[in-house]
Amino acid sequence: MIHRRQRLAAASALALTLGAVAGQTFAQAVAPVGATVPTAEGGANAAALLYDRADPGKSVIAATGELGGLEFHDLDGARKSALPGGETYGVDVRDDVLAVLDRKDGRIRLSRYDFATGQASAIDARPLMLGYAGEGLCLHRSARDGSLYAFALGGDGQLDQWLLFPTADGKLDGRIVRRLHLSSEAKYCVADDASGMLYVAQQAVGVWRYDADPEAEAVATVVDINRLGHIAGEVGGLAILNGGAQGDYLVAANADAGDYNVYDRNADDRFLGRFRIQANGADAIEGPAGLFGVRAPLGADLPAGALLVTDDRKVGANTKLLSWRDVAVALKVSPGQVTPPAAPSRLALVKPTMETRPVEHGGDAADDPAIFVHPTDPARSVIVATDKKAGLYVYDLAGKPLQFLPDGKMNNVDLRGGFKLGGRTTTLVVASDRTHKSIALYTIDPDTRMLTNVADGVQATGLSDPYGCACTRAARVRPTCSSAIPTAACASGNWSPPRPARSAPRRSAT
């Protein structure tokens, strides 16, 4: 089922849609200015444009040829080369890096295009396997830190976000950093790097908008809904043409109606109108599929950029080129700035010198760390960290696990040295335990670097959901540990751990 917040957003959007008349109600005709030759093996699903900054007129169209691989064409439509590999069924590009969805092998393929040679070469560090039947993909580069992401779509509503990262030998590897899910098949998506927005076409439902940041809340906002909105039946490909404040647009294929909807991204994706692709008074597209937009000059015929439209017709499948200026004129809107505004300033990057092994549980289970500094040998210091779905880990400074305590859903952890316990000075480790709604208490042995549970029974917090915790050292008294913070509010006050009873059982877990 669609997420509850998705349904609420959809209901609100439908009320606005049905209660107001916005944009044009009939499709304006726009003629293609060019087309590629038909794919070699038949079938075409998606296309992307490799922009040549040195000579925009020599930019290259990368088009999926299904079993024929990825085909490369010049702007006149002539085939330049091809890159074989499985059954290509989705493509996107950032700079010279190409990502292709291979349905045959169920994986993402990565390659780099060389404008000097006109050839593409694989740069996969290893196969990035999906684990399901893929339908499409799109790329996103974060304006904040430059990270490159791939979004992979599946036939059962899967939506996985992969972080793509370089390896020491110049290749690209990847790992999943977020998993979303739709109620049914989604084939197309597009992301805007400047705004950080991701749009997804759920074929039988409509168009959704997400925040593309992997740490963002997975809440979808409806852009348009099939049948009840401006989409006649199934929705197809998506494209963004970002011309800044003067014109920033989303285009969606209204597949069953045979036309294309345009939305104003500067006005919360308000519907502006629709156009139809025709040549000599007849429809020029028989099998509407993927779209790709570029808002940059591409020569005399394409001064304001282009919209690539994949035509998956039964005979002669290819990619059509539309002048974005022609579309803007037909809809009586500004084509936008020739060069989009510069991306926001990026954050300063600090690279880690070490990382621990991943915790066993997914999501944000690795929530909070604390560092124990060894009193005589700093190299033997350790990291105490939570797996908030299972317990506590102790890692050495190489990231290797030394100990795991499966004591409950430990959310936050803190520690303080100089604590007097049983006639000796020790370091007290405190964690908020959401399983038992308590404070968990441990000491750490500098020699073994292991934790020992020293709690005299369950130290209940009295809170419905203890969340965060922190230790403080009060002046002239022993250290105390603050009360856990509940999920919905911040509780104040200090909590003093009791002295364990002499007969209290203690255990050491390894």
Cβ–Cβ < 8 Å for 107, 129: yes
Give the pLDDT score at 476: 62
Place 346 in a pLDDT band, splitting at 50, 70 and 90.
low
pLDDT digits (tens, 9 = 90+) for 406-451: 999 999 999 999 888 888 999 999 999 999 999 999 999 999 999 9
390-407: pLDDT as tens digits:
899 999 999 999 999 999
Q: In the CATH hierarchy, which top-level class contains the domain 4-331?
A: mainly beta
Determine the pLDDT at residue 12. Answer: 45
pLDDT for res 496 = 44
In 302-361, alpha helices (H):
324-331
The pTM assigned to this predicted structure is 0.73
**pLDDT: is 347 or 207 the higher one?**
207
List of residues 6+ apart from 389 with CB closer than 8 A: 361, 363, 365, 409
Look up tokens 């809904």; give the residue.
225
Region 336-346: mean pLDDT is 63
Tell me: the pLDDT tens digits for 40-77? 988 899 999 999 999 999 999 999 999 999 999 999 99
Q: What is the DSSP string of 198-226?
A: EEEEETTTEEEEEE--TTS----EEEEEB
Q: What is the pLDDT of residue 5?
A: 44
Question: Which residues are CB-contacts of 303 (< 8 A; sequence separation ≥ 6)?
Answer: 297, 323, 325
Output the pLDDT for position 504.
44
Q: What is the rounded average pLDDT of the residues 266-287?
A: 93
Q: Has residue 176 got a pLDDT over 70?
A: yes
Phi, psi of 55 (to 5 degrees): -150, 85
- Count the Cβ atoms, other than its own, within 10 Å of residue 475: 4
Q: Could you tell me which of 107, 31, 94 has the C-alpha nearest to residue 307?
A: 31
Is the pLDDT confidence value at 494 over 50? no
User: How many residues are given for the chain?
Assistant: 510
Q: What is the mean pLDDT of residues 498-508?
A: 45
Residue 324 above 60 pLDDT? yes
Whole-number pLDDT of residue 158: 96
- Residue pLDDT, tens place only, 222-240: 999 998 899 998 999 999 9
Q: What are the boundaries of each domain within the chain?
A: 4-331, 366-508
Express each pLDDT in 61-120 by its tens digit: 999 999 999 999 999 999 999 999 889 999 999 999 999 999 999 999 999 999 999 999
Long-range (24+ apart) CB contacts under 8 A made by 78-87 are: 78/36, 78/37, 79/36, 79/37, 79/40, 80/118, 81/118, 81/119, 81/120, 82/40, 83/111, 83/119, 83/120, 83/121, 83/122, 85/109, 85/122
Say yes or no to pLDDT of 366 above 90: no
Q: Give the pLDDT band of residue 477 (cuts 50, 70, 90).
A: low
Superfamily of domain 366-508: TolB, C-terminal domain (2.120.10.30)
**Confidence band (pLDDT; 50, 70, 90) for 26?**
confident
Mean of the per-residue pLDDT values of the chain: 87
Residue range 250-255: average pLDDT?
95
Closest alpha carbon to 429 in 421, 420, 441: 441
Can you give the pLDDT at residue 479?
A: 56
Output DSSP code: residue 432: E
Contact assessment for residue 343 and residue 327, using Cβ atoms and an 8 Å cutoff: no
Residue 482's pLDDT band (boundaries 50, 70, 90)?
A: low
